Amino acid sequence: MKIAIATDHNGVDQKKDIIKKLSNYEILDKSPHNNDTDDYPDYAFKVAESIKNKEADFGILMCGTGIGMSIAANKVKGIRCAHCSSVEQAYLARLHNDANIIALSYKQDINELIAMIEKFLTTEKSLEERHLRRVKKIINYEEGTYNEL
């Protein structure tokens, strides 16, 4: 499994720790050279595009809160980026929403970050009809074919 990861200038040390911890995955570091003036959308787009182009299977994004990264990543077609702050949210983002990117705050404890990432990466999407139907509506809306309203 290939994982694309990036952070802005916040979270560089945490990203390095996460990459070490995920040594059983192929990691694509999309922010290898951060500086104090970098902008989170640039890295969110890099990770999201790597998912869209099938260069990576999943993505991990970090910034001060994770919120900006999630907003930017969700602008890329085919991306379902979930901002998570607990293991349960990471689990449900994959299970119910078939999220393909997790966005995190670098300010959380590194062990919590790793636990969320591991839960996200090891959870399969639900095959329950209600969850598949809901995700399909999101995809249809994105493609301009949603006509439920």
Question: Could you tell me if residue 70 is inside a domain?
Answer: yes
Nearest alpha carbon to residue 103 among 52, 138, 68: 68
Q: Which residue has the tokens 């994770």?
A: 66
Question: Could you tell me if residue 121 is inside a domain?
Answer: yes
Question: Could you tell me if residue 61 is inside a domain?
Answer: yes
Residue 133 is part of a domain; what is its CATH number? 3.40.1400.10
Question: Could you tell me if residue 148 is inside a domain?
Answer: no
Radius of gyration of the chain (CA): 15
Residues 6+ apart with CB under 8 A from 102: 58, 59, 60, 61, 81, 82, 84, 90, 93, 116, 117, 120
d(CA 144, CA 91): 29
Question: Could you tell me if residue 52 is inside a domain?
Answer: yes
Q: Work out the pLDDT band at 30, boundaries 50, 70, 90.
A: very high
Enzyme catalytic residues:
63, 96
Quote the number of domains for the chain: 1
User: Which residue range is the domain that position 96 belongs to?
Assistant: 2-143
d(CA 112, CA 133): 31
Question: Could you tell me if residue 34 is inside a domain?
Answer: yes
Question: Could you tell me if residue 35 is inside a domain?
Answer: yes
Question: Could you tell me if residue 133 is inside a domain?
Answer: yes
SS3 percent helix, strand, coil of the chain, rounded to 5, is 45, 15, 40
pLDDT digits (tens, 9 = 90+) for 119-132: 999 999 999 999 99
pLDDT digits (tens, 9 = 90+) for 56-114: 999 999 999 999 999 999 999 999 999 999 999 999 999 999 999 999 999 999 999 99
- Please give, one letter per residue, the 3-state secondary structure of 28-73: EECCCCCCCCCCHHHHHHHHHHHHHCCCCCEEEEEECCCHHHHHHH
